[in-house]
With several copies, the nearest count.
Chain A
Amino acid sequence: MKVVYFAWLRERVGVPEEDIAFPVEVSTVSDALNHLISLGENYAYAFERPSLIRAALDRKHAKPEAPLAGAREIAFFPPMTGG
């Protein structure tokens, strides 16, 4: 699955995007986030405050409990500050 990061989350993870093969038991946005944290210190640092993390599935805002099934791209980013 394609995983993309933005803003300080991207800086902390160290790459703007990557392909990750999530284990079969990873079925929700929240599961994906927890799996990423297990991948290394840069991920643990990036996701250290889950309340500040927002996510999107295939370019639509997604809640932590949203299922990954069928999605091709998951994005993680901080609260938005546009406008």
Chain B
Amino acid sequence: MSIPIDVRVQAEPFDEAAEQKALVTGRFDIGAVVAFTGYCRDEGGRLEALELEHYPGMAEEEITRICREAAERWPLLSLRVIHRFGKIDPGEGIVLVLASSAHRAAAFAGADFVMDFLKSRAPFWKKEHGRGGTAGDWVSAKDEDENSLARWV
């Protein structure tokens, strides 16, 4: 079954509330929405900002593939993902994943699954900008993100 899948890759901040409202307004079959928001941390004051590079085109396509896979695995009613690129300040949102379903278990599983695969499969790379203009290092991929995927096989 085909459900609404809305994927956006953008430089602009997103508005969680407006996105969730758009997802549920006029629908009376949705019983559960899980919204995951990933924020930029300052790492104990060390970070000035994160800069996100992405692969235009592939980023949207890969996230859409992950969403379709989630929709096949669980009885979801809709999925919406927004991922930002460019410079992001501490406290700002980087990524938003919204999963809706009639019941909570599928909504939790769908959002969790999409985030896990997005972390290791969506073509985005983070560079750190330190306080005081220190040159940025690229963030290394975490083994735990790869290991986390093993939960779904």
Contact = CB atoms under 8 A, between A and B. Distances in A.
Interface stretch (B12-20, B22-30, B47-55, B68-76): B47-55
Interface in B82-140: 83, 94-95, 104, 115, 118-127, 138-140
A4 interface: yes
Nearest to A56: B58
B123 A56 contact: yes
Given A56-B55, A59-B61, A83 B119 contact: yes
B124 A81 contact: yes
A80 B58 contact: no
Nearest to A77: B123
A6 B138 contact: no
Interface in A1-50: 4, 6-8, 10
A57 B47 CA distance: 34
A78 B137 CA distance: 13
A81 B119 CA distance: 6
Interface residues of A, number: 17
**Chain B interface bracket (under 10, 10 to 19, 20 to 34, 35 or more):** 20 to 34
A82 B116 CA distance: 10
Q: Looking at A10, A77, A83, which has the most chain B CB atoms within 10 Å of its CB?
A: A83
Nearest to A4: B55
Contact of A82 (B57, B61, B104, B124): B124
A81 B121 contact: no
A68 B118 CA distance: 25
A4 B53 CA distance: 13
A81 B55 contact: no
Contacts of B61: 59-60
Contacts of A81: 119, 124-126, 138-141
Contacts of B4: none
A80 B139 CA distance: 9
A6 B53 contact: yes
27 contacts: A7-B53, A7-B138, A8-B138, A10-B53, A56-B58, A56-B123, A59-B55, A59-B57, A60-B61, A60-B62, A61-B121, A75-B58, A77-B55, A78-B125, A78-B138, A79-B120, A79-B141, A80-B119, A80-B141, A81-B140, A81-B141, A82-B118, A82-B122, A83-B38, A83-B95, A83-B119, A83-B122
